């Protein structure tokens, strides 16, 4: 910064939905994506595709909070999700009493009872679940197209059909857990060019200064294409930077 380097994307991050257990964040990459689950805001409404990439999921949670309270949101699951899939760090089929008594997990035999526990209108929740269940039976999410693209299917149950990401929520007991928009790092950093040279605020390269990886503003802007989204550019531009330096040194030596 002392030599005039420019920065960008400082308001953006690699968002990651997370659960909170006794103040400890637990990254949630896949629990929300499996069948028999939905995410609702605090008014009891669904508002995004739960199976989309974690960066977009976190971004949608933050954006929704500008309209209605969605920090935190609620991840709602039924007994089949609990039995077959992990929930945070809880193994399939295991729901320790301590996870309920600690306030991490809410449990009730009925949806209406669960709604009352988490402060959501029971009729609103039932309406949302009924609509979602129809989508699950048909295999097509008419609201958010969950499970209809290859990325969604990355975290799904291929043995489940007709849609590997959708499953009805109808078998009690039912569970709810708070889910938050966490992050795993900032997308902001130094602005670089195609040769990994750091640019100043006038778009000109600063002599002898290179950068790559998470020290730079992401080449993907505010998007995230998937796994390797930081490692790939980091390795590529590291190679480019080293090559550019070597060529520069070779010219000076010759």
User: 30 lies in which domain range?
Assistant: 15-183
Same domain, 199 and 146: no
The tokens for 33 are 């994506």
Distance from C-alpha of 242 to C-alpha of 86, rounded to nearest angstrom? 43
151 domain residue, yes or no: yes
Q: Is residue 1 part of a domain?
A: no
Assess if residue 4 is contained within a domain. Answer: no
Q: Indicate whether 38 and 80 sit together in one domain.
A: yes
Pairing of strands 174-186, 13-21: antiparallel
DSSP 187-237: S-EE-B-TT-EEEBTTS-EEEEEE--GGGB--TTTT---STTTTHHHHHHH
Instruction: Please tell me whether residue 106 adopts helix, strand or coil conformation.
Output: strand
CATH of the domain at 101: 3.90.700.10
Alpha carbons 8 and 253: distance in angstroms, whole number: 35
Q: Are residues 199 and 171 in the same domain?
A: no
Clarify whether residues 117 and 197 are in a common domain.
no
For residue 2, being part of any structural domain is answered with no
Parts of the chain with a pLDDT under 70: 253-254
Structure tokens belonging to residue 144 = 């958010």
144 and 41, same structural domain?
Answer: yes
Q: Which residues of 160-197 are buried (b: 16+ CB within 10 A; e: fewer)?
A: beebbbbbbbeeeebbbbbbbbbbeeebbbbbbeeebb
Q: Which residues contact 109 (CB under 8 A, 6 or more apart)?
A: 172, 173, 174
Residue 32: Cβ within 10 Å count: 26
Same-domain status, 141 and 241: no
Task: Return the pLDDT at 40.
Answer: 97
Question: What pLDDT does residue 253 have?
Answer: 60
pLDDT given at position 96: 84
Residue 211 and residue 156 in one domain:
no
Looking at residue 254, what is its pLDDT?
A: 45
pLDDT digits (tens, 9 = 90+) for 6-62: 999 999 999 999 999 988 999 998 899 999 999 999 999 999 999 999 999 999 999
180: enclosing H helix or E strand: strand 174-186
Among 121, 155, 129, 136, smallest CA distance to 226 is for 155
For residues 66 and 29, what is the distance between their CA atoms, to the nearest angstrom? 24
What per-residue confidence (pLDDT) applies to 251? 75
How many folded domains does the chain comprise?
Answer: 2
Say if 3 falls within a structural domain.
Answer: no
Q: Would you state the structure tokens that stand for residue 231, as one six-digit string?
A: 């490692």
Q: Does residue 23 fall inside a structural domain?
A: yes
% pLDDT > 90, the chain: 77
In terms of domains, do 67 and 132 share one? yes
Is there a single domain that holds both residue 119 and residue 241? no
- Does residue 152 belong to any structural domain of this protein? yes
On whether both 104 and 228 belong to a single domain, the answer is: no
> Is 63 domain-assigned?
yes
38 and 147: one domain?
yes
One domain, residues 99 and 210: no
């Amino acid at each position: 910064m002392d030599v005039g380097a420019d920065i960008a994307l400082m308001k953006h991050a690699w968002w990651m939905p997370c659960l909170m257990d006794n103040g400890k964040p637990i990254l949630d990459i896949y629990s929300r994506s499996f069948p028999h689950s939905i995410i609702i805001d605090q008014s009891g409404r669904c508002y995004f595709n739960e199976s989309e990439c974690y960066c977009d999921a976190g971004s949608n949670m933050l954006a929704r909070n500008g309209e209605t309270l969605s920090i935190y949101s609620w991840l709602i699951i039924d007994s089949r999700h609990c039995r077959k899939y992990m929930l945070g760090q809880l193994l399939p089929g295991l729901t320790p009493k301590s996870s309920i008594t600690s306030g991490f997990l809410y449990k009730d035999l009925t949806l209406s009872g669960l709604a009352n526990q988490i402060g959501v209108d029971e009729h609103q929740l039932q309406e949302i679940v009924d609509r979602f269940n129809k989508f699950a039976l048909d295999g097509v999410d008419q609201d958010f197209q969950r499970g209809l693209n290859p990325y969604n299917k990355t975290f799904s149950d291929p043995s489940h059909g007709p849609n590997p990401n959708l499953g009805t929520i109808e078998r009690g007991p039912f569970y709810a857990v708070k889910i938050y928009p966490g992050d795993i790092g900032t997308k902001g950093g130094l602005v670089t060019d195609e040769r990994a040279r750091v640019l100043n605020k006038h778009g000109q390269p600063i002599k002898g200064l290179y950068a790559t990886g998470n020290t730079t503003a992401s080449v993907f802007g505010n998007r995230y294409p998937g796994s390797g989204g930081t490692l790939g550019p980091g390795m590529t531009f590291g190679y480019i930077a080293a090559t550019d330096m070597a060529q520069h040194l070779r010219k000076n030596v010759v």
